[in-house]
A and B are shown apart, each in its own frame.
Chain A
Amino acid sequence: MSKAARFGIVSAGIAAGAALIAFYIVSYLTVTPPVVAATGTAPQVNLTLQTVAAFGHPPHVDWVSYLAENAHGKWVHSTVLRVPANSTVNVTIYQFDTATGLRNPFWGRPRGTAGGTINVDGKTLNVLNPDLASHTFAIPDLGVSVPLKGVADDAKNQCSVAPCSLSEAHTTVKFSFQTGKPGKLRWQCFVPCAAGFPLGFGGPMQSLGWMDGYLEVVG
């Protein structure tokens, strides 16, 4: 093989490798979950979410996750939520995961919600026994923190693949909170719920679209 041919092959290999690395970095930095907007009209809008113990699909079949319902009633695998500024957001969360308890029982008290309470399966609560919680829905910058009651360990007809249906075992948590000025706020779960990771803190607990997300408050 001539010197020029060898040079060409090596150059092509380096260029291909560089392109793959660039593609990976750009993909990592730019791919975010789709935005799911609240339904209704400001100043009263509705958000509907569900939590599932295992997503059940690639790329992470066994990761715990939130899902959001869009305006067409379809469940979307996303945690990027859009709500209007200076509005009341009525949230309904269908909880399909079982209880693992709160790592810090302090989060058992609902905060930042209308009246400082939540409605769990039709009952109004100002505190949830921390042992009964499965996840939390928290927007720290708004002072919102809501414990989510888990499904009993021995409940029948438990959901195994997202999206879960309301015919499967679940609890229903309802609450409202108030948005302020426009901005992009983070929200998260405060329960170390990442099965298979050291102390439950990896994977879905550290990834947008799973147990962390953004609340886009738009004007």
Chain B
Amino acid sequence: MTEIVSGRIPRHGRRIIGIWLVLTAVAVPLIVLVLGPHLPPGRMTAEAASQRDANVLMTALLVPIALLVVVCFVYSFAVFRQRGEVILDGPPLKGHAGAQLFWIVLTSLIVLALAVWGSYTLIAGSHGAGGGQGPDPVAKPNGYQHALPVQVIGQQWEWTFRYPTYGGLETRDLAIPNHVLVAFHVTSIDVTHSFWAYELGVKADAVPGVDNVAYVHAHKTGFFQIRCAELCGLWHGHMAKKGRVLSSSAFQAWIAAAKTKNAAVMAYLPKYNRVYFPAPLRRAG
């Protein structure tokens, strides 16, 4: 049996909007002020900080939208639930041109604003946001000509690092100086790897024959994790180590110690180059 509901209809829309506004007013400050400082990847570098800011902004924008969906769902579940044996038909739905226009304009503005903000941040604000930009970066930070070059060499299954400024020194460990712009030159001598320095906010593919440049500017000293983010073979999961951001004096001392430690092999290293096509290939079959 079907029956048309008659009589005064509660203002469900206003109720939903009211509940949503209250929840949003509570959730957004909590996200920005409480959750935000714990969102990855931290603030060790300018690039990491920009990534965290993006994560906070995106979360703060998305949560109200998610809350609206959840409030509508829960409200409908609770209020419009069928009770008893009688099947009731709800009031007829009608289009509302104003509401539709408002929603289209609002969502378009959000998407466009994010696109403008994201593009600015990526190119001008954080100079590539720690991502690999290939051999000829588009987003170059101020003073990039004087950045300290550090070459990252991926190989199955280890990272090594070269410092052309210091005679092409190669090491198993990565250290960079604090408050100095660093240009990572990421490459590989075998398969494709991906250099992911988590707390630095750097992630750049290591591709054979390609010099993939990523800029980073550290703001505080400490350790950071290094991982390979590209499935690269049997021991891919073991391709991890810790790097360090050192004070300027500690970095110079570290370089001096590394030179002494690796002096014996320096004569055998190839001349520093942006990419390598090393022998032997005899085994290539």
Contact residue among B156, B158, B270, B282 (Cβ-Cβ distance under 8 Å from A201): B156
Cβ B265 vs Cβ A106 within 8 A: yes
Cβ B283 vs Cβ A111 within 8 A: no
Cβ B268 vs Cβ A104 within 8 A: no
Q: How far is the CA of A190 from the CA of B233 in the complex (A)?
A: 13
Q: How far is the CA of A143 from the CA of B173 in the complex (A)?
A: 11
Cβ A126 vs Cβ B264 within 8 A: yes
Q: How far is the CA of A100 from the CA of B285 in the complex (A)?
A: 13
Does B110 belong to the interface (CB within 8 Å)? Answer: no
Does B210 belong to the interface (CB within 8 Å)? Answer: no
Contact residue among B156, B160, B279 (Cβ-Cβ distance under 8 Å from A205): B156
* Minimum C-beta distance from A119 to chain B (A): 16
Does A193 belong to the interface (CB within 8 Å)? Answer: yes
Interface positions, chain A 107-159, Cβ under 8 Å from B, are 108-109, 111, 126-127, 129-130, 138, 140-141, 143
Does B10 belong to the interface (CB within 8 Å)? Answer: no
Chain B, 268-285, contact with A by CB distance < 8 Å: what is the 0/1 string? 111000000011111111
Does B224 belong to the interface (CB within 8 Å)? Answer: no
Cβ B190 vs Cβ A201 within 8 A: yes
Q: In the complex, what residues of A have CB within 8 A of residue B190's CB?
A: 103, 192, 199, 201
Contact residue among A188, A191, A197 (Cβ-Cβ distance under 8 Å from B285): A197
Q: In the complex, what residues of A have CB within 8 A of residue B264's CB?
A: 109, 126-127
* Minimum C-beta distance from A199 to chain B (A): 5
Q: How far is the CA of A68 from the CA of B160 in the complex (A)?
A: 29
* Minimum C-beta distance from B212 to chain A (A): 18
Chain B, 17-30, contact with A by CB distance < 8 Å: what is the 0/1 string? 00000000000000
Nearest chain-B residue to A129 (Cβ)?
B268
Cβ A105 vs Cβ B265 within 8 A: yes
Cβ A200 vs Cβ B265 within 8 A: no
Q: In the complex, what residues of B have CB within 8 A of residue A208's CB?
A: 234
Interface positions, chain B 21-75, Cβ under 8 Å from A, are none
Cβ A106 vs Cβ B170 within 8 A: yes
Given contacts A106-B265, A196-B285, A212-B235, contact A101 B280 (CB under 8 A): yes
Cβ B157 vs Cβ A199 within 8 A: no
Cβ A100 vs Cβ B280 within 8 A: yes
Does B197 belong to the interface (CB within 8 Å)? Answer: no
Q: How far is the CA of A186 from the CA of B158 in the complex (A)?
A: 12
Q: In the complex, what residues of B have CB within 8 A of residue A207's CB?
A: 234
Nearest chain-B residue to A140 (Cβ)?
B158
Nearest chain-B residue to A117 (Cβ)?
B264
* Minimum C-beta distance from A213 to chain B (A): 11
Q: In the complex, what residues of A have CB within 8 A of residue B269's CB?
A: 105-106
Q: In the complex, what residues of B have CB within 8 A of residue A143's CB?
A: 172
Given contacts A103-B280, A127-B268, contact A109 B262 (CB under 8 A): yes
Nearest chain-A residue to B262 (Cβ)?
A109
Cβ B280 vs Cβ A108 within 8 A: no
The count of A-to-B residue pairs whose CB atoms sit within 8 angstroms is: 86
* Minimum C-beta distance from B264 to chain A (A): 4
* Minimum C-beta distance from B134 to chain A (A): 23
Interface residues of chain B: helix, strand, loop or mixed (majority): loop
* Minimum C-beta distance from B239 to chain A (A): 9
Cβ B285 vs Cβ A104 within 8 A: no
Cβ B283 vs Cβ A192 within 8 A: yes
Does B189 belong to the interface (CB within 8 Å)? Answer: yes
Q: How far is the CA of A138 from the CA of B189 in the complex (A)?
A: 18
* Minimum C-beta distance from A215 to chain B (A): 12
Does A194 belong to the interface (CB within 8 Å)? Answer: yes
Given contacts A100-B280, A103-B190, A106-B170, contact A201 B155 (CB under 8 A): no
Cβ A103 vs Cβ B157 within 8 A: no
Cβ B235 vs Cβ A194 within 8 A: no
Q: In the complex, what residues of B have CB within 8 A of residue A104's CB?
A: 153, 155, 160, 189, 278
Cβ B155 vs Cβ A101 within 8 A: no
Cβ B238 vs Cβ A200 within 8 A: no
Q: How far is the CA of A91 from the CA of B99 in the complex (A)?
A: 78
Cβ A195 vs Cβ B234 within 8 A: no
Cβ A201 vs Cβ B191 within 8 A: yes
Interface positions, chain B 232-285, Cβ under 8 Å from A, are 233-235, 238, 262, 264-265, 268-270, 278-285
Rank and list the top 6 A-B pairs by shortest CB-CB distance, nearest first.
A200-B283, A109-B265, A196-B285, A127-B264, A101-B280, A105-B268
18 additional contacts (CB under 8 A) given A104-B278, A140-B157:
A100-B280, A103-B278, A104-B155, A105-B265, A105-B269, A106-B265, A109-B262, A111-B172, A126-B264, A127-B264, A138-B158, A186-B235, A186-B238, A191-B280, A194-B283, A195-B283, A199-B281, A201-B233
Question: Which residues on A are within 8 Å of B, measured CB to CB?
Answer: 100-101, 103-106, 108-109, 111, 126-127, 129-130, 138, 140-141, 143, 186, 188, 190-201, 205-208, 212
